[in-house]
């Protein structure tokens, strides 16, 4: 769920960003989460993908339904890198070896597994890096054909693009490793490739992990510097999550624990940001936007716990939004 900022606080311009579940009414932006740009970029064998034209027709059914219900369909394009080839969480989440019929060889900036004992990823060579760039471009083209109106490039949570910009996972000595400029190069090139085929009038977001929560890793100041680059390159908004690139990071998990990074990047880089992470109430979401700490609030797990969160939030904050027609007669009347 997200609310765009307004001078007078909450308005009827209420937008839903629902990651990984279904929309339940009201105008909204609905993101299909972690949609793989290649078969090897899937986190699990069960992941949704958009790496071939055969995927377009079924995705068109989703976008058509969302638009018919007054929502804006968006898609999060992702490549899991060294965190690919795992079982689904409800099946245990363990790594699947390339030798297993359900597994495949993972890739990364360097031949470093996420955790000790997991299969070692292949360090991408020049041709492999170009394939990643081409895969994101192709996925963006298919996203447009499928009817999506917003793209979010997933460069967070220890997935491939995050692995490249974090010094904890990138030990390269070529043009894609070492300096800050080299480590962000792949993300910048992916953004440019997507923009080649994505209409300028449609929003382009980038999701980052604003800190690795680990000494020697990516920091909030790095995120500000990246934000300035991405703003110059035409990115509309940075979705500020954190962590996920190394195991056992000491993360101070708690209410709104990541929101300060959205505020920092917004103010210091001058780019729109989205706040995420343990935002569980309408009042919390409203305050972040009303106080100028973020331009957007995104919820995922809270709406898995409460699929009707947007309806409850609108009621709590005094907004009259459309309800699904099947539930209209249960809508509270003021």
First-to-last alpha carbon distance for the chain, in angstroms, is: 24
* Per-residue confidence (pLDDT) for residue 69, from 0 to 100: 83
Residue 158 CA to residue 142 CA, distance in Å, equals: 25
Measured distance CA(19)–CA(30) in Å, rounded = 7
Encode the chain (334 residues) as per-residue pLDDT tens digits: 333 232 222 222 223 343 333 333 345 788 999 999 999 999 999 999 999 999 999 999 999 999 998 889 999 999 999 999 999 999 999 999 999 999 999 999 999 999 999 999 999 999 999 999 999 999 999 999 999 999 999 999 999 999 999 999 999 999 999 999 999 999 999 999 999 999 999 999 999 999 999 999 999 999 999 999 999 999 999 999 999 999 999 999 999 999 999 999 999 999 999 999 999 999 999 999 999 999 999 989 998 999 999 899 999 999 888 888 899 999 998 6
Interatomic CA distance for residues 16 and 27, integer angstroms? 7
Query: Which CATH class for the 2-330 domain?
Result: alpha beta
Ordered by start, the domain boundaries in the chain are: 2-330
* Residues in a beta bridge with 73: 30
Q: Measured between alpha carbons, how far is 124 from 224 in angstroms, rounded to an integer?
A: 27
Q: What own/partner pairs with CB < 8 Å and gap ≥ 24 does 102-106 have? A: 102/45, 104/39, 104/40, 105/40, 106/40, 106/80, 106/81, 106/82
**Positions marked catalytic:** 159
CB under 8 Å to 204, separation ≥6 — which residues? 150, 151, 152, 153, 191, 194, 195, 198, 234, 235, 236
């Amino acid at each position: 769920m997200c609310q765009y900022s307004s001078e007078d606080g909450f308005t009827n311009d209420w937008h839903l960003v629902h990651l990984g579940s279904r929309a339940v009414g009201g105008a909204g932006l609905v993101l299909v989460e972690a949609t793989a740009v290649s078969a090897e970029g899937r986190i699990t064998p069960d992941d949704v993908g958009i790496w071939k034209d055969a995927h377009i027709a079924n995705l068109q059914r989703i976008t058509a339904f969302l638009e018919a219900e007054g929502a804006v369909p968006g898609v999060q394009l992702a490549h899991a890198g060294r965190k690919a080839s795992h079982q689904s969480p409800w099946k245990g989440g363990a790594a699947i070896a390339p030798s297993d019929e359900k597994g495949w060889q993972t890739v990364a900036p360097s031949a470093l597994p996420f955790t000790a004992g997991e299969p070692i990823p292949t360090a991408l060579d020049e041709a492999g890096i170009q394939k990643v760039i081409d895969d994101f471009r192709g996925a963006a083209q298919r996203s447009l054909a499928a009817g999506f109106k917003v793209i979010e490039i997933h460069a967070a949570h220890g997935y491939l693009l995050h692995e490249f910009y974090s010094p904890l996972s990138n030990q390269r000595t070529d043009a894609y490793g070492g300096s800050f400029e080299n480590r962000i190069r792949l993300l910048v090139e992916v953004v440019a490739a997507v923009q080649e085929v994505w209409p300028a009038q449609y929003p382009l977001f980038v999701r980052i992990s604003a800190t690795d929560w680990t000494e020697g890793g990516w920091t909030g100041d790095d995120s500000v510097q990246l934000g300035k680059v991405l703003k110059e390159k035409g990115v509309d908004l940075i979705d500020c999550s954190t962590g996920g690139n190394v195991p056992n990071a000491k993360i101070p998990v708690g209410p709104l624990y990541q929101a300060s990074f959205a505020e920092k990047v917004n103010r210091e880089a001058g780019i729109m940001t989205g706040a995420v992470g343990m935002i569980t109430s309408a009042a919390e979401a409203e305050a972040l936007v009303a106080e100028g700490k973020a331009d957007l609030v995104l919820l995922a797990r809270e709406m898995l716990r409460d699929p009707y969160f947007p309806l409850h939030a609108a009621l709590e904050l005094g907004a009259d939004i459309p309800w699904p027609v099947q539930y209209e007669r249960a809508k509270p009347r003021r």
